[in-house]
Amino acid sequence: MDHLVTQLIGLLPIVIPLIIVGIVIARAAYETRENHETICSLLRIKPEDRHMVRVTYGPGLPCTLGYAHTIRIHVPDKLIPHIVTPEDAVEMGVTLMRSLDMDDAQSSKHRTRYRNWTLTR
């Protein structure tokens, strides 16, 4: 019995970090999905088209959203026909910035078929 306890104690330095990594990954997946749903609902995108919206974080992981410096949102124009002018895009950028608790928002349209927002802290 003592031998079993000794083996279990020896496994603790391996098991504890794995549990912590699992918690961080689970939290990252949850926050990423939650933020993606928030962004899509603010942009008024139908649930069946939400897979076309790309959200990237950097530097930092989504699980550290409170510490993330940048969130980039990339959306095809066909999903957001209500955003026509650059002013509409700026207003939406401000709305996204406030709802995701960021400090600055920029809107750009480098390609003709996509709208991009960059939110920074």
| Measured CA angle at 106 (ends 104, 112), to 5 deg | 165
Cβ–Cβ under 8 Å, residues 90 and 106 = no
The per-residue pLDDT for range 62-117, each reduced to its tens digit, is 555 555 578 888 898 888 888 888 888 889 989 988 888 888 888 887 666 888 88
Domain that holds residue 20: 2-120
Cβ–Cβ under 8 Å, residues 60 and 67 = yes
Structure tokens at 54: 């790309």
Answer yes or no: is pLDDT of 59 > 60. Answer: yes
| Measured CA angle at 28 (ends 101, 90), to 5 deg | 30
Confidence of residue 5 (pLDDT cuts 50, 70, 90): confident
Structure tokens at 19: 């549990």
Return the amino acid letter for 50: R
pTM above 0.75, yes or no: no
Cβ–Cβ under 8 Å, residues 50 and 36 = yes
Structure tokens at 40: 């899509």
Overall domain count for the chain: 1
